[in-house]
């Protein structure tokens, strides 16, 4: 890992720690946490008081691939991110969750992160 890449990652981790100081997932309103790699994106719904992950969806999961076939505006990674948000919202509704807190993970609210959030809102999650 080059020094520039290391500094960029460390900056994102510091931003995420600052966000997490102020944000906590509860059983009533868990935290929707996002992780983005170069190729894929993942979303988790976490209850921090119990310290457990309630559900997780990634762009590699089969349900996301099936959902991509149903969507018309699926362009590359942004389309996959929107599909992850939609599938995550569907799974959350099955578990009886409607409200979450959005944790962008230190990433800029733009592009794939925004697409995942919009997909989750479109699917019925409120934040």
In which band, very low, low, confident or very high, does the pLDDT at 74 lie, cut at 50, 70 and 90?
A: low
Q: What percent of the chain has pLDDT over 70?
A: 98
φ, ψ (nearest 5 deg) of residue 53: -90, 125
pTM of the predicted model, to two decimals? 0.89
Residue 81 is predicted with a pLDDT of: 94
CA-wise closest residue to 85 among 15, 30, 93: 93
Pairing of β 41-47 and β 31-36: antiparallel
Tens of pLDDT, residue by residue over 10-65, are 999 999 999 999 888 888 899 999 999 999 999 999 999 999 999 999 999 988 88
What is the domain count for the chain?
Answer: 1
Question: Which residue range(s) make up the domain with 32?
Answer: 3-123
Does 75 score more than 90 pLDDT?
no
Does 69 score more than 80 pLDDT?
no
Residue 72 is predicted with a pLDDT of: 64
The enclosing domain of 88 has a CATH number of 3.30.420.100
């Amino acid at each position: 890992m080059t020094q520039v890449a290391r500094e960029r990652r460390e900056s994102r981790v510091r931003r995420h720690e600052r966000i997490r100081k102020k944000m906590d997932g509860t059983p009533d309103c868990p935290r929707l946490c996002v992780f983005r790699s170069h190729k894929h994106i993942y979303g988790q719904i976490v209850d921090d008081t119990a310290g457990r992950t309630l559900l997780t969806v990634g762009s590699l999961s089969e349900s996301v691939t099936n959902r991509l076939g149903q969507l018309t505006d699926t362009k590359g990674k942004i389309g996959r991110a929107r599909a992850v948000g939609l599938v995550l919202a569907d799974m959350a509704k099955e578990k009886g969750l409607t409200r979450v807190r959005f944790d962008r993970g230190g990433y800029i609210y733009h592009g794939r992160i925004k697409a995942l959030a919009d997909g989750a809102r479109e699917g019925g999650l409120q934040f």
